Amino acid sequence: MVGLVGLTSIALWLTLSLGNAFYLCLESLSWPTVAGRVVSSGLDTGTSNVGRWWVPDVKFEYELGGRQYSSGSIRYMMPVYYHEEDARLVQATYPKDVQVRAAYNPGNPAQSVLEPGVPPIMWLRALIPVFFWILAAYIFYEINHPERRMLLLPDMEPAE
């Protein structure tokens, strides 16, 4: 039973963390856009247990209602890349001083993104919490239906 609680906790945590990002991806599809300009474009890099990684580092500015805003969000759920060339392909789309269209949250104009919507990788990530919920439901079912397991055992002769 302790394992079931732990598994359910993991499923809940994954659902909430990925659910928030998924919500922002979907919400950004309805945001208005504004003209902006890329002020810096490069790559961030580092190392992890998996190896060396790269992330596009693009900063852009835009003006709304006479107020200047800046952001560094290309898209929600931006992955880290383990091949520099992949990160450079994304970063090359936004060279310094290029004009861009940024989608901004009308309720919070400081929140903006260059590529609104759900990236293809998000649909795969959505399967992770689903897997944990299915596993937790299966374990819960097995705990509450022990008679089912008895049907799977071969008939045994009574001990003499």
Contacts 24+ apart (CB under 8 A), 133-137: 133/11, 133/15, 135/7, 135/11, 136/4, 136/7, 136/8, 136/11
The boundaries of the domain holding residue 47 are 30-116
CB 48 within 8 Å of CB 152 = no
Residues 121 and 98 in one domain: no
- Per-residue pLDDT band for 151 (boundaries 50, 70, 90) equals low
Nearest to 5 by CA among 97, 140, 130, 115: 140
Number of domains, the chain: 2
pLDDT (tens digit per residue) in 67-120: 999 999 999 888 889 999 999 999 999 999 999 999 999 999 999 999 999 877
Highest mean pLDDT among 8-22, 77-91, 119-133, 137-151: 77-91
Residues 17 and 95 in one domain: no
| Residue 143 or residue 64, greater confidence | 64
79 is a domain residue? yes
Global pTM value: 0.71
37 is a domain residue? yes
159 is a domain residue? no
Residues 53 and 70 in one domain: yes
Mean pLDDT of the chain: 87
Sheet with 52-64, edge to edge strand ranges: 67-71, 52-64, 33-47, 99-105, 108-113
pLDDT of 5: 86
Give bridge partners of residue 136 from the DSSP assignment. Answer: none
| H or E segment and range at residue 69 | strand 67-71
Residues 86 and 50 in one domain: yes
Residues 105 and 94 in one domain: yes
- Per-residue pLDDT band for 125 (boundaries 50, 70, 90) equals confident
pLDDT of 2: 75
Residues 24-35: what's their mean pLDDT?
A: 94
pLDDT at residue 16 above 80?
yes
129 is a domain residue? yes
Residues 57 and 123 in one domain: no
